[in-house]
Structure 1
């Protein structure tokens, strides 16, 4: 994590960027890009787009909230690998300075994982429930709405406009459905129990029904080129066996807990 130099900030509006001349994009842009780019003599282009804003309490500032903004960023320099980053701006409205933090994508995922783990520790979810970004909701999921749990039977995800629409029996195709930003976190319940699936879709935390009964899956090996799947359990482990072997498309029975 890198702490960049403090940047000036005034007024009650957080995260006001410096005024600068910007020109339309002349190279392909990632989905998150806002399509405005600062010209640079060497041909480099910085792609950026705000992903979301959050409000957090600040222990040392009475009655004031800290605003945080998350931005996806990628610098493209001709002839060099792209340099992606995840940026976090932290500010107290009307005060200065504020911090500008930067992570590599790998470290951003680690940071997110730590926050999720801590949240689950202090506020554990019931078995079978999870928080998912709206863009990860699937047909067949149940979502928790202001009207209670509702079953999703149709969805529309538009990454370009950062919009997700979910339709349920209570808000059906004659309405606009439940509308979210792609990054909004939604409480989700997913089907669990006994499933029949293609062998290549087995997960490490499934229980596999074998000729020796139910066995907990410890390791899976999926070879897409050979269309071959090996599943290792405690009874058939990787140290002294070839595991349970299947071909792509072979139907297997698993017991799964939703996550």
Structure 2
């Protein structure tokens, strides 16, 4: 908690909290007795309207989430959207953000990255996301639930490859903070062997695609992937060679070395 945050929470008229049960001990710790109301992803339009009523009447409102920065995979978008639409000033109070904290210690390129939030709960959905990002050169950042973490890393291995560098940043800024960086298969085995790594709040960072040693252009590989999804590899390589001008044997060998997931 930065001093500015404490001051704001002490002086606003109302605090909207994701879970009042989790926020109340924090407020008590800092001697804050500001009125507390619940606002979360399942709050209905009436709740938003009540909060907007406070703002329209000249009152002030602070929005806090259970952990980290509001709106970053946390509630708040609808309320902020409604406030800005009516010309009400919205002020950020910077604080902890697992996304940025994880990136700062991952040792992966941080000049360009993409944040995908929470991954789908099912294997098919996760693999579809990874497949769409297979050749994304920027550092990939995800949030993941601890009970799905091991399955998620297994999906990274299956779709992005065994050697892709992955970083697990867990329980950042807390007592059991852990940052593990290693190839995907090694991280999978480490997490499988240590149940403690499957607890708490997890950020998963994956190194971006750096190309391969096949010498084939990305657009040629993409064409081959489309064709071999429908045809036997030998036929797909021959047809791709006719379309792109690449060598048939080179395309076939790439297909053998890089099977579709």
TM-score (norm 2): 0.30
TM-score (norm 1): 0.30
Q: Which has the higher strand share?
A: 1
